[in-house]
Amino acid sequence: MKVKLYVEGGGDSRAIKTRCREGFARLLEKAGFEGRMPRIVACGKREAAFSDFETALKCAAPDEYPLLLVDSEAEVAGADLWAHLKKLDGWDKPGNAEDDQLHLMVQCMETWIVADRDAVEHFFGQDFNKGALPPVNDLEKRPKDDVQAALENATRRCGRDREYRKGKRSFQLLGQLDPETLKKLLPHFSLFCECLNNKL
């Protein structure tokens, strides 16, 4: 099966989209998918990711399996991820989509980042304030804004050129995370990897 993964991220810049693809690719390679990787499409904004995914569904060959990966933006209640996006964004589940073709970064990509304390501390160095990060228990229930603010606060003393910023630095960091740590702490990340393992 040829899996195409349509990812929220990368903004409007070609260079940042390249870094987005590289970051996700490195993480998935470390998760055991090297040699059988999905094709990763960095779509920019979440609306663009959904639109690209819808188009891919309509045009997919029998051996192609499009997947959508976007931020949940809020806590996910229940197992119906499409219902979550309907409530949040007003998006209807495409008629030919399966339930496991949607995956969520709960509540945002930064939640994945703060889950791996060792990788983050190593990346930012000695001025990193690990104590500013939220506890690792129930990370997927922690509001997106709180997680992002905590990560910015934790890197504030690292200097202007080393502080956490979405874009280039976030995708570099994404590629350094340990997938096994994420699987233990983030149930939706674990489900995402299980789906890829079944389809690739």
Question: Going residue by residue through the chain (200 aa), what tens digit of pLDDT does each one get?
Answer: 899 999 998 887 889 999 999 999 999 999 999 999 999 999 999 999 999 999 999 999 999 999 999 999 999 998 999 999 999 999 999 989 999 999 999 999 999 999 999 999 999 998 999 999 999 999 999 999 999 999 999 999 887 778 887 776 899 999 999 999 999 999 999 999 999 999 99
Q: Where are the domains of the chain?
A: 2-110+170-199, 111-168
CA distances from residue 147 to 110, 111, 128, 161, 164 in whole angstroms, order as listed: 7, 6, 15, 21, 12
Identify the three-state secondary structure at position 10.
Answer: coil
Rounded to 5°, the CA angle 108-179-51 comes to 40
The chain-wide mean pLDDT, for the chain, equals: 94
Across the beta sheet with 2-7, the strand order is 39-42, 2-7, 64-71, 102-105
**Torsion sign over Cα 119, 124, 126, 131:** negative
Residue 34 contacts by C-beta under 8 Å, 6 or more apart in sequence?
Answer: none
